[in-house]
Amino acid sequence: KSTRKTKKNLPPGPPRLPIIGNLHQLGSKPHRSMFKLSEKNGPLMSLKLGNVSTVVASTPETVKDVLKTFDVDCCSRPYSTYAARLSYNRNDLSFSPYSKYWRELRKLTVIDTAKRVKSFGHIREEEVASFVDFIRQSASLEKQVNFNLKFMKLSASVICRLGFGMSLEGSKLEITYDEVIQGIMEVLGSFAAADFFPIIGKLIDRLTGLHGKCEKVFQAMDTFFDEAIKCHLDDESIKDDIIALLLKMERGEIGLGEFQLSRNHTKGILLDILVAGIDTSAQTATWVMTHLISNPRVMNKVQTEVREVVKNKDNITEDDIEQLKYLKMVIKETLRINPLVLLLIPREASKDLKIRGYDIPKNTWIYVNVWAIHRNPNIWKDPGAFIPERFVDNEIDYKGLNFELLAFGSGRRMCPGMGVGMALVHLTLVNLLYRFDWKLPEGMETRDVDLEESYGLVCPKKIPLELIPVITKRT
Ligand code: HEM
């Protein structure tokens, strides 16, 4: 009715129900449901989610429109109740609207990332070395390793030292970090009633438990941030990490453009590091090992390459990694078949737009269905199969220039942590593939390995991957 009244030419979309619109069609795997709906309704599709008008882009062409041609008008973030709560009222980078504050913060990460990736190499190396020790012990006891948990612990240890200047061990987060981080991801990835039904939504979320879950993870996270900040206030010799930098900004010793940081800004920024930094790298590494154990041919080929390049060196360096062409294809193929942020973080049109002849009114939420692009048979032959060789003589990369592969997004909001994340993923995998062989638990065969993803802001493997390490001569 309202479409006719305003004469807007909205992108086509499936029929909707009163009040809930198309929410009932999203199911437990919204990326898959949106993919199916877009096959019928087109690559730029309208959905009404309760009260909120949304558009879903599902092909490289329409995504290029959103992330490149109209990037500046599509790169704000919509207000989302629980993201606002967890980010101390959008004082972070990920959920902040497109604004001067966001631009200042973003500049900081750009300058910082390249420098930090290299300068914190020693932290990665030390943490990976102690991870290798743990795997060695498991191998000597023939004990299986839960990759989802152990990679998360490794990633959390690196990020805690890099970002918070403290060890995960002995901290307030040590026992519960996996629950807290997964909880945050679930809350942030959920289609919350409060966002789509302004009046009764909050009540619905109380009944479903989403509100309570958000409060619980917020309290755990906040206590940890207080602990980390207190450490820095008590010991002024801690200088070389992100909290130290943010505290200097709070005290006005360093500026962030015209902004004076408050404690809530500091904590909002810490949320980015905690959430965006830990789960993503850990789950990428888990997916790589999952595909390798399911494809013995690929496992054999990548181990042969790693062992030839590294030879008998005890210390594996980042120069060695540079030469590992096939390993890079394996990781790229993993990011294609299991990108972690399947719908990117939602965007919002900051003014009325016309894309491909369709009207996109101001404040429309925009989803980019990365999963649909990565599984599109017109782009990728046999898209469900794990074939790293598809990247031989194929220049497509995940660095934001190719709209066929968008594991880190593209444009102004593209992931600023790609370098840090991938450095850890590479170093970890090289060590695991060089020093150990891997087998499935007793009674399991390759075809039994489950490949189902779960759904959240980040989508990890649903059933944890458990493998038994076997010591090779090299360890
Ligand atoms: C393999 C690891 C990683 C993957 C696959 C990944 C993927 C992504 C994706 C897809 C986005 C959304 C982009 C968009 O909405 O257009 C994103 C955003 C972001 N990532 Fe990453 N990420 C990884 C590691 C990291 C790390 C290690 C950090 C920081 C230490 C980080 C920090 C962020 C931040 C702050 C944003 C929000 C940027 C903004 O809205 O301006 N990421 N990431």
Atom of ligand 1 at shortest distance to CA of 344? Answer: 15
pLDDT value of position 111: 55
Atom of ligand 1 at shortest distance to CA of 163? Answer: 30
Burial of 359 (0-12, 13-18, 19+ CB in 10 A): middle
Q: Look up the ipTM and state it.
A: 0.99
346 lines ligand 1 (CB under 6 A): no
Nearest alpha-carbon partner for 284 in 342, 327, 329, 339: 339
pLDDT value of position 199: 85
316 against 156, higher pLDDT: 156
The residue whose CA has the least distance to atom 12 of ligand 1 is 344
pLDDT value of position 117: 66
Nearest alpha-carbon partner for 449 in 459, 438, 440, 458: 440
What are the CA-CA distances from residue 43 to residues 34, 60, 191, 413 (Å)? 10, 9, 22, 21
Q: pLDDT per residue over 392-404, tens digit each?
A: 999 999 999 999 9
Q: pLDDT per residue over 179-205, tens digit each?
A: 888 889 889 988 899 999 988 999 999
61, 67, 69, 72 alpha-carbon torsion, rounded to 10°: 160
Instruction: Say whether pLDDT at 362 is over 70.
Output: yes
Instruction: Say whether pLDDT at 4 is over 60.
Output: no
Query: pLDDT grade, residue 134 (50/70/90)?
Result: very high
Atom of ligand 1 at shortest distance to CA of 340? Answer: 5
pLDDT value of position 274: 86
332 lines ligand 1 (CB under 6 A): no
Ligand 1 centre distance from Cα of residue 73 (Å): 20
Rounded to an integer, the average pLDDT of 341-364 is: 97
Give 336's contacts (C-beta < 8 A, 6+ positions apart).
Answer: 374, 380, 405, 407
345 lines ligand 1 (CB under 6 A): yes
459 against 402, higher pLDDT: 402
Query: pLDDT grade, residue 170 (50/70/90)?
Result: confident
Two tokens, residue 222: 């906040």
Ligand 1 centre distance from Cα of residue 207 (Å): 31
Binding residues for heme: 415
Rounded to an integer, the average pLDDT of 140-162 is: 92
Instruction: Say whether pLDDT at 3 is over 60.
Output: no
Average the pLDDT over each of 50-64, 137-151, 227-241, 371-385 and give the range with the smallest value: 227-241
426 lines ligand 1 (CB under 6 A): no
Instruction: Say whether pLDDT at 112 is over 50.
Output: no
Nearest alpha-carbon partner for 215 in 82, 79, 94: 82
12 against 186, higher pLDDT: 12
Ligand 1 centre distance from Cα of residue 341 (Å): 9
The residue whose CA has the least distance to atom 40 of ligand 1 is 94
63 lines ligand 1 (CB under 6 A): no
93 lines ligand 1 (CB under 6 A): yes
Ligand 1 centre distance from Cα of residue 69 (Å): 21
pLDDT value of position 114: 57
94 lines ligand 1 (CB under 6 A): yes
Question: What is the percent of the chain with per-residue pLDDT over 90, rounded to a whole number?
Answer: 74
Q: Please state, rounded to an integer, the average pLDDT across all residues of the chain.
A: 92
Ligand 1 centre distance from Cα of residue 326 (Å): 24
The residue whose CA has the least distance to atom 30 of ligand 1 is 277
